[in-house]
Amino acid sequence: MTKKAWGGRFTNDSISWVDDFNASIHFDKVLIEEDIKGSIAHGDMLKTKGILTEDEFKKIEAGLKEILEEYQKGQITFSIEREDIHMNIEALLIEKIGPIGGKLHTARSRNDQVATDMHLYVKREVIDIISTIEYLQGTIVELAESNIEVLMPGYTHLQRAQPILFSHHILVYFWMLERDKARFKDALKRIDISPLGAGAISGTTFDIDRHQTQKALDFNDIYHNSMDAVSDRDYIVETLSNISLTMVHLSRLSEELIFWSTDEANFITLSDAFTTGSSMMPQKKNPDMAELIRGKSGRTSGYLMSMLMLLKGLPLTYNKDMQEDKEGLFDAVKTIKGALKIMDGMLSTMSVNKDVLEEAVSNDFSNATELADYLVEKEIPFRDAHEIVGKLVLTCINRGIYLKDLPFEEYKKASSVIENDIYDILSAKVSVNRRISYGSTGTEAVKVQLKLARERIT
């Protein structure tokens, strides 16, 4: 039976299946680098304050580095009886260098230790997520630039609305991701704070230097209240919230790709590398990667709700409930990083079916608003123009034709102000390029947007 670090007050041995339920080593072993980094900083501070000797610290530091190296080589097996990554490392250190290893925990609790590990982990992963988002943004910009002349139908209510540029549509997701990136960057202000040295709840009687460990671990700030330091999980909630919203944005883009790749639309063709087939139907090419991203957005949102419910009734300060803050976060981080990379792969390898898109905007009524605007320019009130065009559309529907096919005599009957230039106005390309307002779908406006997008990622 492994001796418990807290076992002095207990008389009975623990039960193995209870140990298994209690342990977090199954998942918190991913914190090993953070735990060792924090321990070395703490030991160095103890040495500076004369709590450890120079020789003791050197042995502790060397032992910790050996443990990390052995772990990376797959030479370490962790123990469930030792509960978590902190106690496993401490036990391994004592086995390696003797009782000196037990001095490392002076002026430190697992409460501030795990908080430190989590802050270091979340900071590292959020910085990586920001970088991965920016990489995907670059791919979106390249996709928009290479298709700057391509027209497509714009939709509202999944009904054809107005012709737009494909680049204008895809850039929407650049700006969604730009806001996501900004939220992650802002969250770093709350993540980049050191709780180390707060102890279990009330600090410590030892003369430690929390500012030294803050600087050693490259934290931008420090907790000013020991109870807040060990009980704060706001930064995890905020990170999960940012992950959830980014995943929702990726889910929306996935839904676009799924629709665009159907036979009914055929606007794009996804690479074989990001699709799968059917075990029964040989003709199938399924957009499974996009569907998985769409599905996994529910998973990450669930982790956010779980974390909020975890915290809502907790009294100060540390409670064992807080052990449940990790698995969901770890999986959410893995999920979003995978989803961002998969989305980047899908966008960078897909083909835009330009001819299909051009035909789509040539054979619909998405130019109806253009006709109404034309009448308004001829000083017909918009409401009257709207009714005139609506009746013309109905005439076309009844005849099985489109506005571009309607004889000029019909236009003249509808309104005497309509001239022969109406057919130019009804052209999808002309319609798009008549959009001159800032942020619109006009080619020149989109070029301005692209320039700004490039500046944001370079």
For 46-86, the pLDDT digits (tens) are 999 999 999 999 999 999 999 999 999 999 999 999 999 99
Mean pLDDT of 186-212: 98
For residue 11, what pLDDT is reported? 53
Which pLDDT score is estimated for 18? 78
Between CA 123 and CA 195 the distance in angstroms is 13
pLDDT above 90: residue 5:
no
Least confident of 3-12, 394-403, 425-434: 3-12
Residues 350 and 270 sit within 8 Å (Cβ to Cβ): yes
Report phi then psi at 12, rounded to 5: -105, 150
CATH number of the domain encompassing residue 367: 1.10.40.30
Taking the CA atoms of 119, 175, 145 and 255 in sequence, report the sign of the dihedral they define. positive
Assess whether 99 and 117 both reside in one domain.
no
Q: Which of 333, 353, 373 is the last residue of a domain?
A: 353
Residues 250 and 165 in one domain: yes
User: Could you give the CA distance from residue 85 to residue 118 in angstroms, rounded to a whole number?
Assistant: 12
- Look at residues 298, 328, 353 and tell me which one is the last residue of a structural domain: 353
Residue 187 has pLDDT above 80, yes or no: yes
Same domain, residue pair 256 and 191: yes
The model's pLDDT over 87-131, given as tens digits with 9 standing for 90+, comes to 999 999 999 999 999 999 999 999 999 999 999 999 999 999 999
pLDDT at residue 2 is higher than 70: no
Same domain? For 189 and 142 the reply is: yes
Stretch 386-401: mean pLDDT, rounded? Answer: 95
Q: Per-residue confidence at 17, pLDDT binned at 50, 70, 90?
A: confident
Strand 193-194 and strand 221-222: the pairing is: parallel
Query: What helix, strand, coil percent values describe the chain, rounded to 5?
Result: 65, 5, 30
Residue 210 pLDDT grade (very low, low, confident, very high; cuts 50, 70, 90): very high
Give a yes or no: residue 328 inside a domain. Answer: yes
For residue 170, being part of any structural domain is answered with: yes
Say if 3 falls within a structural domain: no
Query: Cα–Cα distance between 297 and 299 in angstroms, integer?
Result: 5
Residue matched to tokens 């998942």: 27
Residues of the chain above pLDDT 70, percent: 97
The residue from 82, 106, 130 where one domain ends is: 106
| Co-location of 242 and 346 in the same domain | yes
Residue 273 has pLDDT above 90, yes or no: yes
Domain housing 389:
360-457
Share of the chain above pLDDT 90, in %: 89
Contact in structure between 216 and 41 (CB atoms under 8 Å): yes
Q: Which of 15-29, 305-319, 329-343 shows the lowest mean pLDDT across its residues?
A: 15-29
pLDDT at 458 over 90: no
Considering Cα of 191, then 192, then 196, then 197, what sign does the dihedral take?
A: negative
pLDDT at 219 over 80: yes
Confidence at residue 14, expressed as pLDDT on a 0 to 100 scale: 67
Could you give the 3-state DSSP secondary structure of residue 415?
coil
- Average pLDDT of the residues of the chain: 94
Shared domain check, 102 and 156: no
Catalytic residues: 157, 278
Decide if pLDDT at 8 tops 70: no
Per-residue pLDDT tens over the stretch 396-418: 999 999 999 999 999 999 999 99
User: What mean pLDDT is predicted for residues 19-46?
Assistant: 92
Quote the pLDDT of residue 1.
47
Please count the structural domains in the chain: 3
Please name which of 105, 79, 106, 110 lies closest in space to residue 92, comparing C-alpha atoms: 79
Tell me which of 23 and 450 has the higher pLDDT.
Answer: 450
Whether residues 133 and 89 share a domain: the answer is no
pLDDT confidence of 20, banded at 50, 70, 90? Answer: confident
Whether the pLDDT of residue 205 is over 90: the answer is yes
Residues 153 and 169 in one domain: yes
187 and 133 in a single domain? The answer is yes
Between the alpha carbon of residue 254 and those of residues 262, 294, 337, the distances in Å are: 13, 6, 15
